[in-house]
Amino acid sequence: MDLIKRPRRLRINENMRRLVRETSVSVNDFIYPLFVVEGKGIKREITSMPGVYHFSLDLLLKELEEIRDLRIPGVLLFGVPETKDEKGSGAYNPDGIIQKALREMKKEFPDILAGADVCLCEYTSHGHCGLICDGDVLNDSSVELIAKAALSYAEAGADIIAPSDMMDGRIGAVRKILDENGFTNKTIMSYSAKYASSFYGPFREAALSKPSFGDRKSYQMDYANTTEALREVENDISEGADIIMVKPALSYLDVISRVSTRFDIPVAAYNVSGEYSMIKAASEKGWIDEKGAVFEVLTSIKRAGAKIIITYFAKQAAAWLNSQH
C-alpha cells in the first residue's frame, strides 16, 4: 500500500510508546480510603471488598506506616461507630471514632494528608445522610450538623474536609464555620457531583450505612444528567470548595471530562467500592488480568481529566508503580 500516514510507527515498541504516551498514573495522584472501627487489635477483611479492611485505631497506625512508605500522599477516613442514633451524633462528638483516629494519626504521621469524609449516614440509625422529618431528608438543619462535624474533624487535625452528603449549601456553611474558628487553611474537597449509584453497594456493607427505608435519590444526583453536575460544581466552587469531586468514576468519565474542561480547579474522581469489587471478583475468577485492568481504569480516569483518584487500589497500584523503577 502507498500510505503516507502509518500511525503504527508510533507504537513500534515499548520505548516509542513511552515516548508518545499522553497520560500517566503516579502515586502522587492517590488518596486511599480507610475504614475505622472501635476496639483493639482488629484488622478484619470486608467481605464485599477483598483486600480492604476494618481497622481499630492501633492497627490503623500500622497501616499508615505502609501508606507512608508507599508515598501515598493522603487518606480518606470513614468511621464505623458502635452506636448510631436519629441525629447521627457520633459524627460531631469530639470523642467520636474519627476524631480519635485523626488525633492519633496526626501525632504519629503529621505529613500524611488526613482527609475526613463528612456525612451523617454512617452515624444515623436510619442510614440517611441527613435528619429525617416525616420521611423527608431535611436540608438546612442537616447542613448545620454537617458543618458541626466538619469543625470537629478540623479541630481533631483533619487536613482535608470532604463533605459527601449532597445537601444544598453545605460547602458555604463548612467554609464559614472553619474560617470563623481560625481554620482558614483547611482544604475542602467537595463531593460535588455525587450520583445515586448502585456502585456504592459494597461500601454500604463496609460502613453499615444502607438506608433503612427509601433511597438517596432526593439528594444524590440522577445518573442521566451532566449539565446538572456543572451547576453543582459551580455552586461548590463559589461557596469555597478547593477541590471538587465526581463520583463514581467509571460510568461518569464524560462528567469528569466536562467538569475538568470547564473549571480550572483540581478535579478528584472517586473510583468507588463497586468499581473495585467488580475487578476483584472478575480477577479472582480468572476472567480478567487484575493489574492490567487496574492500570487501564486508573489511566482512563486521568485521561478523562481528573488529577486526584480516590481508590481502594491505591496501595496495590503504588506498590506496582514503585516496583517498575
Q: Which residues are catalytic?
A: 194, 247
Cβ 265 to ligand PBG, closest distance in Å? 21
Residue 133 annotated as part of some ligand binding site: no
Nearer to ligand PBG, 23 or 125 (CB): 125
Q: Which of residues 130-189 bind ligand PBG (CB under 6 A)?
A: 164
Q: Is 273 in the site for ligand PBG (CB under 6 A)?
A: yes
Instruction: Provide the grid cell at 23.
Output: 497520560
Secondary structure of residue 57 in the 3-state scheme: helix
Between CA 145 and CA 292 the distance in angstroms is 43
Q: Find the part of the chain contacting ligand PBG (CB under 6 A) among 63-71, 116-124, 251-259, 313-321.
A: 116-124
Residue 191 annotated as part of some ligand binding site: no
Task: Give 69: exposed, middle or buried? Use CB within 10 Å, 0-12, 13-18, 19+.
Answer: exposed
Between CA 218 and CA 142 the distance in angstroms is 14
Label residues 89-124 b or e (16+ Cβ within 10 Å = b).
bbbbbeebbbbbbbbbbbeebeebebbbbbbbbbbb
Q: Is 105 in the site for ligand PBG (CB under 6 A)?
A: no
Closest by CA position to 110, among listed 72, 77, 163, 158: 158
Q: How does strand 243-247 pair with strand 49-56? A: unpaired
Q: Is 214 in the site for ligand PBG (CB under 6 A)?
A: no
AA identity, residue 89: S
Q: Find the part of the chain contacting ligand PBG (CB under 6 A) among 138-146, 196-204, 249-257, 277-285.
A: 196-204
Bridge partners of 113, per DSSP, are 74
Report the 10 Å Cβ neighbour count for 61: 16
Q: Find the part of the chain contacting ligand PBG (CB under 6 A) among 3-11, 200-208, 278-286, 316-324.
A: 200-208
Nearer to ligand PBG, 4 or 132 (CB): 132
Q: How does strand 132-133 pair with strand 136-137? A: antiparallel
Q: Which of residues 1-60 bind ligand PBG (CB under 6 A)?
A: none
Q: Is 203 in the site for ligand PBG (CB under 6 A)?
A: yes
Residue from 31, 132, 161, 272 touching ligand PBG (CB under 6 A): that is 272
Q: Is 204 in the site for ligand PBG (CB under 6 A)?
A: yes
Residue 239 annotated as part of some ligand binding site: no
Residue 129 annotated as part of some ligand binding site: yes
Nearer to ligand PBG, 181 or 198 (CB): 198
Q: How far apart are the first and last CA of the chain?
A: 40
User: What is the contact surface with ligand PBG in residues (CB under 6 A)?
Assistant: 117, 119, 121, 129, 164, 200, 203-204, 209, 272-273
| Binding region for Mg(2+) | 232
